């Protein structure tokens, strides 16, 4: 393994945080019902799944590269692929996730019937 400085570990931590965010976006995209995307006027579930899968795979590969290959994290972090993967996950989490949130099933599938116009009562 390469001789890493404290700054290298900091940038490696940034790569790991980016991967966690990309994995979160992937898991969230898998749990949203398919009709929610169309109801929110967003791209289809299939397309968002493909985008988030690619982002998570790229993010995971770049987060593991310093340990596996001994590459310096700053060089990896400044590449176009990890930046694009992070942006894709950020767009999903900041734009799509809030838009499809009202269409998610609530109450764990119990069918909460005590719903008023502004929420449960």
pLDDT digits (tens, 9 = 90+) for 27-52: 999 999 999 999 999 999 999 999 99
What band does 108 get if pLDDT is binned at 50, 70 and 90?
very low
Distance, CA of 34 to CA of 41 (rounded, Å): 12
The C-alpha angle with vertex 110 and arms to 109 and 116, in degrees rounded to 5, equals 105
Tally Cβ neighbours within 10 Å of residue 38.
Answer: 14
What band does 71 get if pLDDT is binned at 50, 70 and 90?
confident
pTM above 0.85? no
Distance, CA of 76 to CA of 52 (rounded, Å): 20
Helices 6-31 and 45-69 pack at an angle, to 10 degrees, of: 160
């Amino acid at each position: 393994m390469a001789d890493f400085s404290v700054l290298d570990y900091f940038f490696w931590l940034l790569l790991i945080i980016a991967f966690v965010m990309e994995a979160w976006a992937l898991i969230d995209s898998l749990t949203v019902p398919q009709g929610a995307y169309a109801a929110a006027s967003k791209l289809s579930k299939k397309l968002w799944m493909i985008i988030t899968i690619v982002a998570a795979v790229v993010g995971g590969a770049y987060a593991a590269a310093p340990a596996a290959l001994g590459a310096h994290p700053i060089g990896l972090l400044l590449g176009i692929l990890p930046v694009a993967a992070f942006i894709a996950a950020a767009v999903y989490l900041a734009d799509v996730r809030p838009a499809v949130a009202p269409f998610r099933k609530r109450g764990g599938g119990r069918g909460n019937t005590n719903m008023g116009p502004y929420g449960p009562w």
